[in-house]
Structure 1
């Protein structure tokens, strides 16, 4: 994709990484549309960034995705970049049996099916552009899970796999497929504790490094900041078992700290 002059839609664009990308792309001279469920959050982001647009969207609702796609096609017929960023990350207890299935089902509906639905609904429009880009936002957790968030990790692994298939199917159709793979970043994805965690990568640093990498994407299509490369290639480097233990021990410690702080 070109650095500027694009019409870019970002789901989950009102907060966190989505908002960071939206603001960075707009500063580079792109027209940006953000989408999400909470209209007040979208309005606040647009007010802070004059010229940005928003459209409400509930990716968990198949009918709303169709309504959303029709509105986007009418208002933004030159849309040529889709960034699938919307997602949730919740703690689960797999020993609780059916009591915790609602969290898993919601996570799959939003993170996984939401990505499928939005991409399918906007695919005809993207194919019309001649040259277009689809980006999926996965996670370092797609390659090395942490035990408190099993469904989140599983959906991100699934999107990684799906992105590879999508890239191959679109290889001769003028649509590139890029996979953005964040590390642990200071956002409120899991609550205020994460946003203030010194062990997480500062959001501004993550966005800056990612934008640089997007200027010249690798042949693999994976956008990997330096902090996530160790987890991404842990199996190849022979460090998987060690890093898995370290990250999961830290996740267990963090879960206890969050509970004590009343954030769990």
Structure 2
């Protein structure tokens, strides 16, 4: 996959891992479009990305998915990479809550159903490009749950299963590549509640992704996630 001259949409791109990836790809000479729910934070992030475009909206909301997908098709016809990074997670103990199912529903909608739908809206568009990619930001949680994130891991495992199936579906169409990134604990505001200060910097995730794109390495383990890959990722 070429690593320069792309037009890239990054959901949840106004902070954390998404912003780090935006900065890395921007520095490499790509056109960047970032999405965020908070308009103020989105504008702040754009100040660090000269020439980038921001699209405010919540991709966990169906109407916003339709609106953002249409805006991308109409205003950014050169779009050839989407990075599904926006996510939701709740830190809690199962023996201290009575609404785990409600928290799980929010996580599953944001981390799984919404990604399937948004990708579905844009795939026909991407398939028309000479070179395109879908990049799903997964998690080390794919490989095992944690009691402080009791329902989050299941949503990422579901995303992993979907990503593998999506890759297999389009593996004979060489113009569309499907990547999955597996960050471990990362030092972001998103992970602060579960000790994120002890995690790796988000820039490390961005660095690994760029290397993987250069190598056409579709599985992208980062940091501690590499222990789950006993051979060079395929």
The alignment's TM-score, normalised by the length of structure 2, stands at: 0.91
CA separation of 1:101/1:148 partners in 2, compared to 1, >3 Å: closer, same or farther? Answer: same
Does residue 199 of structure 2 align to residue 203 of structure 1?
no
Q: Tell me how many residue pairs correspond in the alignment.
A: 230
CA separation of 1:60/1:225 partners in 2, compared to 1, >3 Å: closer, same or farther? Answer: closer
CA distance in 2, matches of 1:217, 1:194: 33
Secondary structure (helix, strand or coil) at the match of 2:22 reads: helix
**Which runs of structure 1 show a deviation greater than 3 angstroms over 4 or more consecutive aligned residues?**
95-98, 192-195
**For the aligned residues, what is the CA RMSD?**
1.9
Partner of 2:216: 217
Listed as ranges, the gaps of 5+ residues in structure 1 are 238-264
Tell which has more relative contact order, 1 or 2 (C-alpha 8 A, sep 6+): 2
Partner of 2:52: 52
Once the two structures are TM-superposed, the CA of residue 96 in structure 1 deviates from its matched residue by 5.6
CA distance in 1, matches of 2:76, 2:211: 26
Partner of 2:151: 151
Does residue 134 of structure 2 align to residue 134 of structure 1?
yes
CA separation of 1:132/1:210 partners in 2, compared to 1, >3 Å: closer, same or farther? Answer: closer
Partner of 2:187: 186
Partner of 1:256: none
Contact 1:14 1:34 in 2 (8 A): yes
Partner of 1:68: 68
Once the two structures are TM-superposed, the CA of residue 97 in structure 1 deviates from its matched residue by 6.8
Q: Deviations over 1:120-151 (max 9, x none)?
A: 11112111113210000101111122111122
Q: What is the 5 A alignment of 1:1-264?
A: 1-95=1-95, 98-173=98-173, 174-191=175-192, 194-197=195-198, 200-218=199-217, 221-230=218-227, 232-233=228-229
Contact 1:182 1:224 in 2 (8 A): yes
Listed as ranges, the gaps of 5+ residues in structure 2 are none
The alignment's TM-score, normalised by the length of structure 1, stands at: 0.81
Contact 2:17 2:206 in 1 (8 A): yes
Deviates more, 1:74-83 or 1:85-94: 85-94
Secondary structure (helix, strand or coil) at the match of 1:196 reads: helix
Contact 1:187 1:194 in 2 (8 A): no
| Rg larger for | 1
Once the two structures are TM-superposed, the CA of residue 170 in structure 1 deviates from its matched residue by 1.1
Contact 2:91 2:193 in 1 (8 A): no
CA distance in 1, matches of 2:214, 2:131: 16
